[in-house]
Amino acid sequence: MSENVLERFLKYVSFDTQSDEHSQTVPSTAKQAVFAAFLKQRLEAMGLEDIVLDDKSYLYATLPANTDEQLPTIGFIAHLDTSPDMSGAGVSPRLVTAYGGGDIVLDEAEGIVLSPKQFPELLDHVGEDIVVTDGHTLLGADDKAGIAEIMSAVAWLQAHPEVKHGRVRVAFNPDEEIGMGAHNFDVDLFGCDWAYTMDGGEVGELEFENFNAASARLTIRGRNVHPGYAKGKMINSLLVANRLVSMLPADEVPEATEGYEGFFHVTGIDGTVEETHVSCIIRDHDREKFEARKRLLAECVAVVNGEYGEGTVTLELRDQYYNMREKVEPVIEIVEIAKQAMVNVGVTPKVSPIRGGTDGAQLSFKGLPCPNIFAGGLNFHGRYEFVPVQSMQKAVDVIIEIVRLVGGKKTLVSNK
């Protein structure tokens, strides 16, 4: 008997695949390569074609067409790694069957409880079967749920040749959680007209807009003098850093924004009187507002340098990724196909902007339009992560229905 999506998921989360943002290798951790090799074996056992596992642990495979009709090649993508935010080693998942709506005790001895009082989204899944952690690791639904769903959908399609389709490509890549997942993705080798990342959260999520993103590193150079004799001489770089940060809009921070609202986010301050480093990120869905935010930060630096002397503050500003909307809108039918697929399988589409980024954003700018579809998990990156089994199955159904819809259409968009 073939594995179902739950069985696959429980197997996959046994692999520790945490990525490392400080690593200089690709993949950033060798344990991702172990998981990729395991998945390659599974794809081979399933009889997929054109299987390629490269030296950077990018894994590609093909479910061949079962019709002579000329149809687009579509792809489904998920990432191998889990977040550096919490350990992914020794994950001990537990299945809560027919969830009744109350607290779920993860570790009684340590009082770790998954409660709808703190996580009201639990109540949207009363009566469903929920996979939870033991309270000491993340779960890994981000994005092993996506991998399990893609594998399960491919297995179903193999078992149902009556569903006619063109080539379906699948890909699993490392290091998404550290923003590097798309950097070494071979779009030409993948060879798709368009694709979908299976990396969203709650059932129905469908995203083709994301933040424009930049990172900033500020270096503030002070002048240290014995504090008893410092008048008119000392420049305390820590206080200059505080002055600079206070110039940014106080209400344009992550904890005070939502929806399409952008922000500045100070992620780290490290320093002494002599020298301080400030790290921050800039986010906005609107490209013009994004550019204006970068200009504002540069203007703040100029003001501070005017007050304390040129060269007191230096700014390193780097764009990270852009809003995929500008690349997806010209082929918006790929979003409409996903919406129709959801409706057809009883899911209400929830189209919303991503307050973050996905591999799909970078892939879209590399020539592969790539909206993001729900994988079903919630509370990613921490001990309270969970995923309803029924949500994973709905994601499988959506993948199958997308393939069915594309196979049944005579005229479709092409990115080629």
Contact 208, 324 (CB under 8 A): yes
Q: CA separation (Å) from 377 to 81, 123, 315, 389, 391? A: 15, 14, 38, 9, 8
Hey, what amino acid is at 282?
I
Total Cβ atoms within 10 A of residue 223: 15
- List all residues 6 or more positions away from 58 whose beta carbon is below 8 Å from its beta carbon: 36, 52, 171, 172, 173, 174, 184, 185, 186
Comparing C-alpha atoms, which of 392, 359, 410 is closest to residue 81?
359
Given a contact cutoff of 8 angstroms between Cβ atoms, the answer to whether 400 and 163 are in contact is yes
Active site residues: 81, 176
